[in-house]
Amino acid sequence: MKKLLLILFAGISLQSYGQLDQTLFGFEGIAQSNSLNPAMIPKAKFTLGLPGLSLVSFRVVNSGFTAGDVFAKGSDINQNIPNLIGNLNGDEFISFNTEIPLLYVGFKTKKGYFSFGSTNNTYFKYGLPNELLELFYYGNNSPERPSPIFNFTNLSIELTSYTTHHIGYAHQFMGDKLTLGAKVKLYQGNASAVMNNRLLQINANTDGPWVLSSDAEILTAGVPGLIQGFEVNSDTISDNSDKLYSFDNVNVGFDFGVNYKINKRFSVNAAVVDLGAKIDWKKNINRSLSKGVYQIDQFAAINFGVNEDSVDNQIEAQLDSLEAALEYKDTTAVSYTTNLPRRYTVGGEFSLTDKHRFGVQYFKLDNDLQEDLSAFTLSYYANWSRWFQWRASYTFSNKYSNNLGLGMSLKGGPIQFYVMADDVLDFMTGGKDINNVQVRMGINISIYGKKDKNKVADDSDYSPLQEVEAEEAEDTEEGEE
């Protein structure tokens, strides 16, 4: 937490990023799109996702402000900071999550598709304490903040690290008209840290010591001592690496998906991912409490008229004073549960030809770790050849700005490289108002096998019009028969 506040008050505005995965959804040229709909059967006959290189992704979210709020052209940064703090309402947070692939294997059967693999996931969230920021910036004797009561109960830390192991199968029925898919997942809890505050408040009166009232709890599991004061202690992770990948804290969840081809042109799909996903933390649990009323020495507002190192030292000293006053004490450990994000998608596609498809999806994410999301996406998928496909999507979201996403897959021999990103337009124009960027990239070993000579070849020189005419001729012949 100290480092986070230092960054904030140094004037560096973390931009907001979001990982909606709408560009990856339905990207048949990339086998890992099967992770968003287990009924989706990829184009490749066999795929090996290289450990640590396939589908690496990250997400950072700042729900409170963008870079433009601090660095707006022609504005005064010193004036922008108090405006930024004044616009916070206590519900804002800064968070990030990463997904690092450990293994992915997928292969086709005569009527289906098997896959199995493992992915490491990390979610990290800070609740922004707006009134504590006001105290640091204005002090306790300012006309901009006349009340001596500063409540920072919304200051929070949540860290969840886990590994997902899955095995899945998709099967085609009625020829290839109906495809049903399912996955069984084992969620292996690696580490958890949660700061729950029922009360954190300072009475910063102008005479005598200040009064700090607290009713706060810190829970950790998997690795002891993950939270110290207001920050995550990264040293304890390396000191307890043997505990990170134990199977002491596990649970089971499921993915389900369906694709249905109405005819040659239209299809519909639906999927639910991580249904029932949670981790019951039962082993290596620590619980610390701070409950009482304490006195702390007064401290002045931060002096921003000095160099950055001095500002950092001022904030560090003030946070140290608060941490020492809280006097967390270990108590009886209790098991607890972390509910993992659950994803629901429903959509449809129109295929102009095998090479050109247009889609629409509605997506909802129930997310106890960060925030709930709903999104509506329009997409275009270009399956130009085996060695090159690309996809464009435009997403309307309830949380972030509407954005354009682009993704591509490039293949040379058995090696496939792919990359995709969201909020491309804002990024190209400077990124000052970005509040939703996703980046995914990876390398696969991807083998297609022999082409089906009864279909238009993937690498043919047909134009879209010629392909449409060819398919219409086939329909006419079938009708005459």
464 lies in some domain: no
Measuring CA to CA, which residue among 133, 127, 99, 197 is closest to residue 370? 127
Cβ atoms of 188 and 245 closer than 8 Å: yes
Report how far Cα 158 is from the mean position of its chain's Cα atoms: 14
129 backbone dihedrals φ, ψ, rounded to 5°: -85, 90
d(CA 357, CA 46): 23
pLDDT at 332: 79
Cβ atoms of 223 and 246 closer than 8 Å: no
d(CA 281, CA 311): 39
d(CA 70, CA 78): 9
203 lies in some domain: yes
d(CA 350, CA 264): 9
User: In this structure, which amino acid lies at residue 287?
Assistant: R
pTM equals 0.79
Tens of each residue's pLDDT in the chain, 481 residues: 444 444 344 333 333 333 457 788 889 999 999 999 999 999 999 999 988 777 777 776 666 666 666 666 666 666 777 777 777 777 777 777 788 889 999 999 999 999 999 999 988 888 878 887 788 778 777 787 778 888 888 888 888 999 999 999 999 999 899 999 999 999 999 988 888 888 888 888 877 788 889 998 888 888 766 666 556 666 666 666 666 667 888 999 999 999 999 999 999 999 999 999 999 998 888 888 888 888 877 766 666 555 556 666 777 777 777 777 777 888 877 889 999 989 999 999 999 988 999 999 998 988 765 566 788 999 999 999 889 999 999 988 776 656 788 999 999 999 999 998 877 776 666 555 555 566 788 899 999 877 655 554 444 344 444 444 444 444 444 444 4
Residues of the domain holding 263? 2-449
476 lies in some domain: no
Q: Whose structure tokens read 């005459």?
A: 480
462 lies in some domain: no
> Would you call 323 helix, strand, or coil by DSSP?
helix
pLDDT at 166: 97
Measuring CA to CA, which residue among 188, 180, 67, 61 is closest to residue 119? 188
| CATH number of residue 34's parent domain | 2.40.160
> Would you call 4 helix, strand, or coil by DSSP?
helix
pLDDT at 469: 47
455 lies in some domain: no
DSSP secondary structure letters along 144-206? TB--SEEE-TT-EEEEEEEEEEEEEEEEEETTTTEEEEEEEEEEEEEEEEEEEEEEEEEE--S
pLDDT at 31: 93
Task: Count the domains in the chain.
Answer: 1
144 backbone dihedrals φ, ψ, rounded to 5°: -70, -20
131 lies in some domain: yes
